Structure 1
Amino acid sequence: METKSAIMANSVEKLKNSNIRITPQRYAVLEYLIQSESHPTADEIYQSLSGNFPNMSVATVYNNLKLFTKIGFVQEMTYGDASSRFDFSCTQHYHAVCENCGKVTDFHYPELDELEKGVQDLVGFKIVRHRLEVYGLCPECQKAKEQ
């Protein structure tokens, strides 16, 4: 498994190869996403980075997130009416979403890779990706509900 610094270096190289300028703000947003394990919103990223970039706007963060989504670095996750969350995705994985607090936890379930192949064989589609989300209450919200 690649280290986060190797993922960052590889991502920057891909941006350069696509003739995308590596501005300090763009680098910071990308680095934040790679380091983050919380599936942040654009506003959360902005709040975290604004101290280091006082002239940066939420629109700058959002535009960079849209660029990263377009080139396949980032997955935009929309759940109901809440703000979109963003996930730097270098491997296929799935999400468990807490319906109470909105926490999103990654998980991998290898049998779903086999399911994808089975569906491809069954319907003849060339499957390029799939998405799975499960919903419930995270351990913290379960504890709070019990008290």
Structure 2
Amino acid sequence: MNVHSHNHQALDAYENVLMHLKEKHIRLTQTRKAVIAYMVNSHEHPSAETVYKELLPLYPNLSLATVYNNLKLLVDEGFVSELKLSNDSTAYYDFLGHQHLHIVCEVCGKITDFMDVDVLKVHQEVHEQTGYQVTKAQLILYGICPDCQAQKKNA
């Protein structure tokens, strides 16, 4: 995917979120738009504190509570998922622009998207075996990233 098509997709996703919130009569403040734009354009899985630190220079009146409230709204509306990792009290956030899984490094904590999984097939298989209708899923795999493996070999 080239940069232009990614920017176009991000703009479409941003506009889609704004349109959804407008239809639900949810106020679109400048800070709310900033948090939405940050999440849509993020290639990471930021914590609320990270979003706050990144946006504060542009929005000096921004509070950490405002960031948390906006992230909660985005989670509640189904645009962002909240990732809670084992042995870590921090919540990380991921914009749900595509179906994917996450793998987390047990050494450095880096979170990486894993794309080549047919998540819908997993939902179907769960339904067939259990009768449950899957409404959302969060599967997190754990391992050791290539960087940490290399450091261990060199130590």
Per-residue deviation, residues 114-136 of structure 1 (Å, max 9, x unmatched): 23212212222222232211111
The residue aligned with 1:107 is: 114
**How big is the shift at 1:112?**
4.4
- Write the letter of the residue equivalent to 1:76: E
The residue aligned with 2:152 is: 145
How far apart, CA to CA, are the structure 2 residues paired with 1:12 and 1:123? 36
The residue aligned with 2:90 is: 83
The residue aligned with 2:125 is: 118
Question: Which structure 2 residue ranges, 5 or more long, are not aligned?
Answer: none
- How many percent of aligned residue pairs carry the same amino acid? 39
1:92 aligns with 2:92: no
How far apart, CA to CA, are the structure 2 residues paired with 1:112 and 1:75? 15
Q: CA RMSD in A?
A: 1.6
The residue aligned with 2:42 is: 36
List structure 1 segments (4+ residues) > 3 angstroms apart after TM superposition: 109-112
The residue aligned with 2:16 is: 10
**How big is the shift at 1:111?**
4.3
How far apart, CA to CA, are the structure 1 residues paired with 2:119 and 2:17? 27
**How big is the shift at 1:140?**
1.6
Three-state SS of the structure 2 residue aligned to 1:3 is: helix
Range with greater deviation from structure 2 (73-82 or 58-67):
73-82
The residue aligned with 2:136 is: 129
Range with greater deviation from structure 2 (55-64 or 127-136):
127-136
User: Normalization by structure 2: what TM-score?
Assistant: 0.87
- Write the letter of the residue equivalent to 1:96: I
User: Normalization by structure 1: what TM-score?
Assistant: 0.92
How many equivalent pairs are there?
147
